[in-house]
A and B are shown apart, each in its own frame.
Chain A
């Protein structure tokens, strides 16, 4: 049974390696990809079903018992993330149907895509801090490949910075793991949690916690370390941008969620107050960035930051409710960011330019795209009854309850500004007279992919009563790390 945990990593990894050999056969690759994504989705649904109805699953690779060997843990939080990742992967493959050219396939789009999925799933499943680094590298290597497929001038220019920044933070990560190993003598997360609790988290451990925060903040694009993100996320093809926007920064947030609830949850007043400040500034800077530009893709890319800020606010507040809010927002944001990147890509293809000032009146030529964009904008800003509202409501109520009035107030303000920044695209691109004839028809499979994701986020909002108990129980298991520790170490 516990071998099931391995499948969400193994299936994409194997198929990714296999597809390297079929890079000239476009149709075949596409069919295999469809099959794989559905298979993987099925596996992850079964895995979530099993974990929510029974115990978490643990795979001890090679039969080495928990604190010694490499372990993979599928607890409630992990399976929620795995399920979301596979839904995003499905929509990306649907979107890729018409948008990925034979040239991109020839340059190994699908293998890199599946390696990215394998890396992200691995990062969500691992129970070992060093393995987290390894899976980070797997997904980053795949993303390095994906970001320069196409090989245009801007892509090379922007991807160099993306790669250098991520490389630097990876080196910092491995150094910090070494620090932590020298202090505690282990890299197993459950055992780390136990040992840190024993020594009551001295100063050096808080120092390591902040170093790890710098690493994850770079991956997740938080306030002082966000500058590499917006420009490098808009240069690749829309399907790649959507994958990055939906998955990569969320891995950083997930790692924070895991590390700061499980390991460094003892000196809250220092680290977690710091988190709330960083979260607040990140929200503000993100919306200011989104308002500062008239490049459609750049507006969407800047909108990643405020949502990361919201999630960090939940981690900083650190109550069962706010953690549930963070998880809810994480799932919601994966779906809606991917949908918005898809829609922005479709819009840019339709208009032939990404400059908002040169667009106008496309509601007449592509009504479906326009209305989808409108709904996606409302979902993103958190208008009830959509999913953004539920997550934000939980987060902000948690923040008010713990008396972080300033942060909550700025959160509310930035939601309003987020709405303004995306509605600006809707008004500019879809209202008024047609400026510049549409370059090409909107691709149907693109609309289908975004429609799927928007439907999911509406369902997450309208059917919040069905989903909330699951998310709440995942958050409850986070707030009490002893459950995880006892389960992994079997004591």
Chain B
């Protein structure tokens, strides 16, 4: 199961990086979203996938799912929600004020 998850996370990373290298702003934003999904799956995998056991730590219980990665992912997901929505708004406003969404036309060349 860990292998499958690793491959999935890797695929998401690859797709995310591919999209990051695109010129269109919207594609780049989608790329960052995919990257963060990859990172979240990766954290989950790193905490060892254990099915059918509750994430409770008490004395005497040896079979439990590690709660820490889940807590980390939850925090990380919330952050990535916020950042992605912010980026979408920013991309839209950038398009509005610069009249383009192509990265090569957004280069800062005019030295004020």
Residues of A within 8 A of B108 (CB): 154, 157-158, 231
| Complex Cα–Cα for A177 and B43 (A) | 8
**A170-212 interface bits toward B, Cβ cutoff 8 Å, 1 = contact, 0 = none:** 0100110111011000010000000000000000000000000
Q: Is the CB of A354 within 8 A of B112?
A: yes
Q: How far is the CB of B84 from chain A (nearest CB, A)?
A: 9
Q: Is the CB of A167 within 8 A of B42?
A: no
Contact of A182 among B32, B47, B86, B91 (CB under 8 A): B47
- Which single residue of chain A is at the shortest CB-CB distance from B110? A154
Q: Is the CB of A181 within 8 A of B69?
A: yes
Q: Is A108 an interface residue (CB 8 A)?
A: no
Q: How far is the CB of B3 from chain A (nearest CB, A)?
A: 14
Q: Is the CB of A156 within 8 A of B112?
A: no
**B81-101 interface bits toward A, Cβ cutoff 8 Å, 1 = contact, 0 = none:** 011001100110110011000
Q: Is B106 an interface residue (CB 8 A)?
A: yes
Q: Is the CB of A171 within 8 A of B32?
A: yes
Contact of B32 among A134, A153, A167, A231 (CB under 8 A): A167
Q: Is the CB of B32 within 8 A of A164?
A: yes
Given contacts A158-B108, A178-B46, A295-B112, whether A168 and B25 have CB atoms under 8 Å apart is: no
Q: Is B75 an interface residue (CB 8 A)?
A: yes
Q: How far is the CB of A207 from chain B (nearest CB, A)?
A: 15
| Complex Cα–Cα for A174 and B80 (A) | 11
Residues of B within 8 A of A417 (CB): none
Q: How far is the CB of B4 from chain A (nearest CB, A)?
A: 16
Q: How far is the CB of A40 from chain B (nearest CB, A)?
A: 25
Residues of B within 8 A of A231 (CB): 108
Q: Is B111 an interface residue (CB 8 A)?
A: yes
Scoring B25, B86, B107, B108 by chain A CB atoms within 10 A of each residue's CB, the highest score goes to: B108
Q: Is the CB of A168 within 8 A of B46?
A: no
Given contacts A144-B86, A151-B93, A171-B32, whether A178 and B98 have CB atoms under 8 Å apart is: no
Q: Is the CB of A168 within 8 A of B68?
A: no
Q: How far is the CB of A168 from chain B (nearest CB, A)?
A: 7
- Which label, helix, strand, loop or mixed, suits the secondary structure of the B interface? helix
Residues of B within 8 A of A137 (CB): 79, 83
Instruction: Kindly identify, within residues 3 to 23 of chain B, every residue whose CB is under 8 Å from any CB belonging to chain A.
Output: 20
Q: Is B72 an interface residue (CB 8 A)?
A: yes
- Which single residue of chain B is at the shortest CB-CB distance from A231? B108
Contact of B106 among A144, A160, A168 (CB under 8 A): A160
Q: Is the CB of A160 within 8 A of B83?
A: no
| Complex Cα–Cα for A153 and B48 (A) | 47
Q: Is A141 an interface residue (CB 8 A)?
A: yes
Q: Is A159 an interface residue (CB 8 A)?
A: yes
Q: How far is the CB of B98 from chain A (nearest CB, A)?
A: 6
Q: How far is the CB of A406 from chain B (nearest CB, A)?
A: 34
Residues of A within 8 A of B86 (CB): 141, 144, 163
Q: Is B30 an interface residue (CB 8 A)?
A: no
Q: Is the CB of A163 within 8 A of B87?
A: yes
Q: Is A373 an interface residue (CB 8 A)?
A: no
Residues of B within 8 A of A156 (CB): 90, 93-94, 97-98
| Complex Cα–Cα for A157 and B110 (A) | 12
Residues of B within 8 A of A158 (CB): 108
Q: Is A148 an interface residue (CB 8 A)?
A: yes
- Which single residue of chain B is at the shortest CB-CB distance from A353? B112
Q: Is A130 an interface residue (CB 8 A)?
A: yes
Given contacts A134-B75, A178-B42, whether A167 and B97 have CB atoms under 8 Å apart is: no
- Which single residue of chain B is at the shortest CB-CB distance from A354? B112
Q: How far is the CB of A138 from chain B (nearest CB, A)?
A: 9
Name the 10 nearest CB pairs between A and B, nearest first: A182-B46, A156-B94, A178-B43, A178-B46, A157-B106, A137-B79, A175-B39, A171-B35, A231-B108, A174-B39
Additional 17 contacts, C-beta under 8 A, given A153-B97, A178-B72: A130-B72, A133-B76, A141-B83, A151-B93, A151-B97, A156-B98, A157-B98, A167-B83, A171-B32, A174-B36, A174-B43, A175-B42, A177-B72, A178-B39, A178-B42, A178-B43, A181-B43
Selected A-B contacts with CB under 8 Å, 19 pairs: A141-B82, A144-B86, A144-B90, A148-B93, A152-B97, A156-B97, A157-B107, A163-B86, A163-B90, A164-B87, A167-B87, A177-B43, A178-B42, A178-B43, A178-B72, A179-B46, A293-B111, A295-B112, A355-B112
